[in-house]
């Protein structure tokens, strides 16, 4: 009968995997076996064998039998071979014969190796097997002898190294003899650098080093992080909870593998972690991301993961899926990363080309001293990425962003929407995805891609859509109308409609005017005809969402002063006002806003260029 465990350590994880109950971090946890005394280890093997016999698992029974035999044989051999060296005079003679230059070489090599067993295996000359058969107590005496001899001969460097060796062996001795508690945390931290490379491919937990780019398993964000890692682009160390794991969490409302995950989190070199959603289909900020979670606080980690998974059922996420005709079946993964301290540098979002008009230049925005949440939520007006040029300390950032954006665009053959963080020392790319483009940008980009040789004729024909091309027009405002105010163009398009300040009752005939919006406003954005915000940038989630839904949008209209209480807005610091129900015409291509209904003449663009490509021989 299975017993419920109340505590997990690396050994139990290792053995649970062998018994089909857990995951394999055998190399990361295996080193811990060096510190576990044989008596305790044999008891664990015995318990496993008992469970295996109860479950009639012959494979595990055979494994346990083999381990028992191997350890018994090893103990017998060591006992026989170590007898000649039990005499202290014999040990002293070995110390006296050791060439100090060889010892120095061995100890220097140890500087690059964390495994204490390396020392005990190599401390003696390779012609003498003493190190392999001597007890720990005798090896400690050997180290003391080396220290004494080096000191007597004035070899200070060797003496100091030998002191370190002596201290290390003392620590090991205390652990093995049970004089100090078996410290899981200490051992996990010591060997944590091994963990990412030894988690075997499975359907629950993966890392960058697994190299798996299956979006159905680790979501769009996760798969693209692995792709960037393969391309040599600097990304944060990342751990992925797969769609299988997240579906289980959603259904059971518990994290069954939390004891294991708690230990695996030691792979990160910081105590603060970020837990981000990774949809199989990009959902433009509709899912939660939790930043600055303390990895040592199991309750906090558990809550953050549960909150991210359960945000699948939020009203904004449901509304987004309805608009995009997506299934409600849970298809998300989770990306866990160390927090990159953008609050000590800056964070931003960059597009490899302008997503509004398709101009072939790096476009984007950033916020200083920010982890990235302010920029994404659209509750702050950011700075243009062009302002990084020539800035002290940031002079390489723009160059690195341009170079890597070009690499990503060529790899994915699509304009990229890139999230980056600079911690004051290094630039990290924390996300990339295919950018949501206006109709103008879609058509201009595929024309440019073809002319640049990035795509061939067959690919051009696959990407070209006539229904989108019909929306790509130039325009001319008739008459003497002049704009009453101007904002930053976020989504192309011309729209005439009645102003409303009430998002809850806005319809497709309305232009919604707000200070700012956030992802929670998704259900309302779906109902409107166009959007104007006083603050926010072209990379904010509302702008991205409006671009995806092809709703004209103007952001960062700084001269607006909005009083939602009395449903009125003034602008340009003057007495001119906009009231609820007033008719406006907005031009999303330029950011211009006009009073009343304007006559706008439109003409389809790029007709000749598209026909020239379609009629060519490639």
Query: For 142-166, what is the mean pLDDT?
Result: 74
Greater confidence (458 vs 568) lies with 458
Quick one: tokens of 67?
């381990």
Identify the three-state secondary structure at position 499.
strand
**β-strand partners of 433:** 417
Average pLDDT of the segment spanning 588-605: 88
- What is the structure's pLDDT at 90? 41
537 band by pLDDT with thresholds 50, 70 and 90: confident
Least confident of 39-43, 62-66, 85-89, 606-610: 85-89
pLDDT for 459 beyond 80:
yes
As a whole number, mean pLDDT of residues 95-114 equals 44
CATH 3.30.470.20 is held by the domain 342-434: yes
What does the pLDDT average to over 517-543?
84
Domain 195-338 is found in CATH 3.30.1490.20 = yes
Q: 238-258 pLDDT, tens per residue? A: 999 999 999 999 999 999 888
Residue 108 has pLDDT above 80, yes or no: no
Lowest-pLDDT range of 78-87, 144-153, 246-255, 424-433: 78-87
Q: What is the pLDDT of residues 304-331, one digit of tens each?
A: 999 999 999 998 888 888 888 889 999 9
Cα torsion through 315, 321, 327, 331, rounded to 10: -80
Highest mean pLDDT among 373-387, 412-426, 477-491: 412-426
The residue ranges of every structural domain in the chain are: 86-176, 195-338, 342-434, 439-472+605-614, 479-598
Dump the DSSP string for 123-143: SS-TT--HHHHS-HHHHHHHH
Residue 52: other Cβ atoms inside 10 A: 20
Span 411-454, pLDDT tens digits:
999 999 999 999 988 999 999 999 989 899 999 999 999 999 99
Q: Is the pLDDT of residue 184 over 90?
A: no
CB atoms within 10 A of CB 472: 22
Q: Buried b / exposed e across 346-379, counting CB within 10 Å, b at 16+? A: bbbbbbbbbbbbbeeebbbbbbeebbbbbbbbbb
Domain 195-338 identical in fold to domain 342-434: no
- Rounded to an integer, the average pLDDT of 472-496 is 84
Per-residue tokens: 241: 């909870």
Which residues lie below 8 Å from residue 597, measured CB to CB, with a gap of 6+? 496, 583, 585
* CATH 2.40.50.100 is right for the domain spanning 479-598: no
């Amino acid at each position: 009968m299975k017993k419920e465990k109340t505590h997990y350590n690396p050994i139990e994880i290792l053995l649970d995997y062998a018994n089909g109950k857990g995951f394999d971090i055998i190399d990361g946890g295996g080193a811990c076996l060096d510190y576990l005394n044989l008596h305790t280890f044999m008891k664990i093997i015995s318990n496993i064998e008992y469970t295996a016999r109860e479950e009639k698992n012959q494979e595990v029974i055979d494994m346990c039998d083999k381990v028992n035999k191997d350890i018994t044989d090893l103990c017998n051999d060591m006992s026989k071979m170590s007898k000649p060296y039990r005499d202290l005079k014999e040990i002293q003679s070995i110390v006296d014969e050791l060439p100090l230059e060889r010892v120095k070489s061995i100890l220097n090599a140890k500087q690059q190796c964390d495994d204490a067993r390396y020392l005990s295996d190599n401390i003696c000359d390779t012609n003498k097997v003493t190190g392999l058969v001597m007890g720990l107590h005798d090896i400690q005496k050997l180290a003391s002898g080396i220290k004494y001899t080096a000191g007597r001969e004035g070899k200070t460097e060797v003496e100091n190294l030998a002191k370190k060796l002596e201290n290390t062996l003392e620590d090991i001795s205390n652990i093995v003899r049970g004089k100090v508690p078996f410290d899981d945390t200490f051992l996990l931290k010591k060997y944590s650098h091994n963990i990412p490379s030894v988690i075997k491919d499975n359907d629950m937990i993966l890392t960058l080093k697994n190299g798996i780019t299956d979006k159905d398993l680790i979501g769009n964000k996760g798969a693209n992080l692995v792709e960037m890692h393969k391309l040599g682009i600097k990304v944060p160390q990342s751990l992925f909870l797969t769609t299988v794991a997240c579906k289980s969490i959603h259904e059971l409302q518990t994290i069954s593998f939390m004891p294991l995950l708690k230990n695996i989190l030691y792979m990160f070199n910081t105590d603060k972690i970020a837990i981000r959603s990774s949809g199989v289909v990009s959902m433009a900020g509709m899912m939660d991301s939790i930043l600055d979670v303390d990895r040592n606080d199991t309750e906090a980690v558990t809550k953050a993961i549960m909150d991210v998974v359960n945000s699948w059922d939020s009203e904004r996420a449901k509304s987004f899926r309805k608009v995009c005709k997506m299934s409600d079946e849970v298809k998300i993964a989770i990306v866990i990363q160390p927090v990159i301290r953008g609050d000590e540098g800056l964070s931003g979002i960059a597009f490899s080309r302008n997503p509004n008009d398709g101009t072939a230049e790096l476009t984007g925005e950033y916020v200083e001293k920010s982890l990235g949440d302010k920029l994404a939520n659209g509750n702050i007006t950011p700075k243009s990425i062009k302002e990084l040029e020539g800035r002290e300390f940031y002079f390489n950032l723009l160059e690195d962003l341009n170079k890597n954006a070009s690499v990503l665009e060529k790899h994915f053959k699509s304009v990229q929407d890139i999230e980056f963080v600079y911690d004051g020392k290094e630039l990290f790319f924390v996300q990339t995805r295919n950018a949501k483009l206006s109709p103008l940008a879609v058509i201009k980009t595929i024309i440019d891609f073809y002319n640049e040789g990035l795509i061939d004729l067959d690919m051009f024909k696959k990407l070209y859509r006539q229904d989108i091309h019909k929306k790509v027009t130039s325009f001319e405002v008739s008459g003497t109308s002049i704009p009453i105010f101007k904002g930053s163009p976020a989504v192309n398009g011309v729209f005439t409609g009645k102003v409303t300040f009430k998002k809850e009752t806005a319809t497709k005939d309305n232009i919604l005017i707000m200070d700012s919006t956030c992802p929670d406003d998704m259900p309302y954005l779906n109902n409107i005809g166009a959007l104007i915000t006083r603050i926010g940038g072209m990379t904010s989630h509302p702008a991205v969402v409006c671009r995806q839904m092809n709703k004209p949008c103007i952001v960062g209209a700084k001269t607006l002063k909005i009083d939602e209480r009395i449903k009125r807005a003034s602008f340009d610091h003057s007495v001119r006002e906009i009231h609820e129900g007033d008719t406006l015409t907005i031009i999303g291509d330029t950011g211009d806003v006009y009073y009343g209904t304007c006559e706008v003449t439109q003409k389809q663009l790029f007709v000749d260029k598209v026909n020239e490509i379609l009629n060519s021989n490639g």
